[in-house]
């Protein structure tokens, strides 16, 4: 299944049915009178977060969603049928934006959440509604109310507990593959990852979700490389894991590039809890690891961990640190009946 995290959708609620002008005319009935029914109301347009979806790819092949119109009223005091509603089924974590792509209409973060996007028009009154002591034969009825037509944007922000950050080839996909059953593409050239990947990581009998996004480069907020559009997928994370390539000539510069992009992106992303890790230490000597780690600690103003995703060195310590940073209510306790295999570094 292809990944799509932004879609433009055109929606329209149903128009209400018109009221009916009708009079009762039956043989042997001396007095008739108005009996025109009301029109049915138009259908609404809803959006609902459902389980089992993690992409907006369905909205690439269908962009127009129109609810049914209400049926007009009929004689013999019969009201028209209401129009059927239409529901846009989206993944949990979907933001619904107005046409300007800035105004947030709703943010569906949990499965089962629903929001009304366009309300259907009311049905018109039939002439029976206007009958009174002074107007016993009304010959007018109301037309149905028009539906609402609007353009909206759907933007998916994956719901994960940990977000991976780093320059291209920093080892993010390798880390995800080494700690979960996810199988992202891994190669020795930049921008191997072209769309976000999710993996469920287990440690010490709890599980949490890790999101891997394409690498950032300097100037990503200006559109360089793949840009910073994918940073939206780590906005909901409880903690960020910043991986730095230990084989780089200047690890401090690599660190500052990512921090600069987070600050340029805006919001509270730069203020999120962050775990900084020097990766690929299997390709370094002990002296090089100590030197680069000390330089990073000076730049970050805090402790820096060291690990190797390929050699699986230090992975367990990193996972336990991430678990400690994640809110307790986000952790998913494993079912003891499943008897999962323990993760081994």
37 carries a ligand binding annotation: no
* All residues at 6 or more sequence positions from 38 whose CB lies less than 8 Å from its CB, including other chains: 19, 20, 73, 79, 80, 123, 124, 125, 126, 129
| Cβ pair 17, 80 in contact under 8 A | yes
167 carries a ligand binding annotation: yes
123 carries a ligand binding annotation: no
280 carries a ligand binding annotation: yes
240 carries a ligand binding annotation: no
* Joined tokens for residue 183: 């199988």
212 carries a ligand binding annotation: yes
98 carries a ligand binding annotation: no
172 carries a ligand binding annotation: yes
194 carries a ligand binding annotation: yes
233 carries a ligand binding annotation: no
The conformational region for residue 306 under phi > 0 = left, psi -120 to 50 = alpha, else beta, is: beta
With CA atoms as reference, report the closest residue to 208 among 319, 342, 89, 67.
Answer: 319
* Joined tokens for residue 308: 């190797």
309 carries a ligand binding annotation: yes
Give the relative orientation of helices 315-325 and 172-179 as an angle to the nearest 10 degrees: 90
What is the CB neighbour count within 10 angstroms for residue 94? 25
CA distance 229 to 235: 11
72 carries a ligand binding annotation: no
Q: What is 252-304 written as a DSSP string?
A: HHHHHHHHHHHHHH-TTGGGS-EEEEEE-GGGS-HHHHHHHHHHHHHHHTS--
107 carries a ligand binding annotation: no
* All residues at 6 or more sequence positions from 266 whose CB lies less than 8 Å from its CB, including other chains: none
CA distance 118 to 152: 11
With CA atoms as reference, report the closest residue to 307 among 238, 239, 246, 216.
Answer: 246
213 carries a ligand binding annotation: yes
164 carries a ligand binding annotation: no
CA distance 41 to 19: 11
CA distance 237 to 73: 52
59 carries a ligand binding annotation: no
DSSP 8-state secondary structure symbol assigned to residue 146: P
122 carries a ligand binding annotation: no
345 carries a ligand binding annotation: no
Binding residues for GTP are 166-173, 191-195, 212-215, 279-282, 308-310
Binding residues for Mg(2+) are 173, 193
Binding residues are 166-173, 191-195, 212-215, 279-282, 308-310
């Amino acid at each position: 299944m292809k990944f799509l995290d932004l879609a433009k959708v055109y929606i329209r609620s149903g128009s209400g049915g018109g009221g009916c002008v009708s009079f009762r005319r039956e043989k042997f009935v001396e007095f008739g009178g108005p009996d025109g029914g009301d029109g049915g109301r138009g259908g609404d347009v809803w959006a609902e977060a459902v389980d089992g979806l993690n992409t907006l790819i369905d909205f690439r092949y269908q962009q127009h969603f129109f609810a049914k119109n209400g049926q007009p009223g009929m004689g013999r005091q019969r009201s028209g049928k209401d129009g059927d509603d239409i529901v846009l089924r989206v993944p949990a974590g979907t933001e619904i934006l107005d046409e300007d792509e800035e105004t947030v209409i709703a943010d569906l973060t949990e499965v089962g959440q629903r929001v009304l996007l366009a309300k259907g028009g009311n049905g018109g009154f039939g002439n029976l509604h206007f009958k009174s002591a002074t107007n016993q034969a009304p010959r007018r009825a109301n037309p149905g109310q028009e539906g609402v037509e609007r353009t909206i944007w759907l933007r998916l922000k994956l719901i994960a507990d940990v977000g991976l950050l780093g320059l291209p080839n920093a080892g993010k996909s390798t880390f995800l593959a080494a700690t979960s059953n996810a199988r992202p593409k891994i190669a020795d050239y930049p921008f191997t990852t072209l769309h976000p990947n999710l993996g469920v990581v287990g440690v010490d009998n709890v599980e949490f979700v890790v999101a891997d996004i394409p690498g950032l480069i300097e100037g990503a907020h200006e559109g360089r490389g793949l840009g910073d559009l994918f940073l939206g997928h780590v906005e909901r994370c409880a903690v960020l894991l910043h991986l730095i390539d230990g084989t780089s000539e200047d690890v401090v510069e690599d660190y500052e590039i990512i921090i600069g992009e987070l600050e340029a992106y805006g919001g509270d992303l730069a203020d999120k809890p962050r775990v900084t890790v020097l990766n690929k230490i299997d390709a370094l000597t002990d002296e090089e690891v100590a030197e680069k780690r000390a330089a990073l600690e000076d730049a970050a103003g805090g402790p820096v961990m060291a690990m190797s995703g390929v050699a699986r060195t230090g992975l367990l310590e990193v996972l336990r640190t991430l678990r400690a940073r994640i809110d307790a209510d986000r952790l998913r306790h494993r079912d003891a009946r499943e008897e999962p295999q323990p993760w081994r570094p």
